[in-house]
């Protein structure tokens, strides 16, 4: 019995993950919360569902839809942001941010592809929304990045857990 299987048995048999009770809805919820600012791991839920025998394509689809939904919520929260809030709550001067704005306008939409990165990833859609960067390009790049993320995670899961 490999190390991955021992780890899998420990997690599932000790009740840490009961995703079989929530299924794809639990995966969507975990991915949605992951796509927002909360640092959770939707890959662990994805691994669990694949390990329980769920079909791969629906799992990847549900995971990336949830994660993109959370990311786009961050985008629209950023869109609602105001300069006064940034200056008063974050204590960052407007001039300092405006110096970086031209870079975001030129390359910013591609940052959405990296919205899956832990900790800093959810800040990308928030900033893109704040600067009113193209929402369709942001969504498209975010979809691409999330599909790649979950496809690679599923491949790793299949290779080591099954």
Question: pTM of this prediction?
Answer: 0.76
CA 125, CA 59: separation in Å to the nearest integer?
23
More confident residue, 103 or 17: 103
pLDDT in tens, 79-100: 888 777 666 666 667 777 777 7
Q: Who's near 45: CB < 8 A, 6+ residues apart?
A: 17, 19, 26, 27, 30, 31
pLDDT digits (tens, 9 = 90+) for 25-59: 888 888 888 888 776 778 888 888 887 788 888 98
């Amino acid at each position: 019995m490999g190390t991955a299987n021992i780890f899998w048995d420990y997690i599932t048999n000790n009740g840490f993950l009961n995703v079989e009770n929530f299924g794809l809805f639990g995966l969507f919820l975990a991915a949605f919360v992951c796509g927002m600012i909360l640092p959770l791991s939707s890959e662990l839920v994805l691994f669990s569902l694949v390990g329980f025998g769920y079909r791969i394509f629906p799992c990847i689809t549900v995971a990336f839809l949830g994660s993109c939904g959370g990311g786009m919520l961050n985008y629209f929260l950023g869109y609602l942001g105001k300069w006064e809030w940034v200056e008063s709550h974050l204590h960052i001067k407007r001039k300092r941010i405006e110096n970086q704005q031209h870079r975001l306008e030129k390359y910013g939409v591609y940052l959405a592809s990296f919205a899956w990165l832990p900790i800093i990833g959810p800040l990308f859609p928030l900033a893109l929304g704040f600067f009113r960067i193209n929402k369709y390009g942001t969504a498209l790049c975010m979809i691409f990045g999330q599909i790649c993320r979950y496809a690679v995670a599923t491949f790793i899961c299949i290779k080591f857990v099954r």
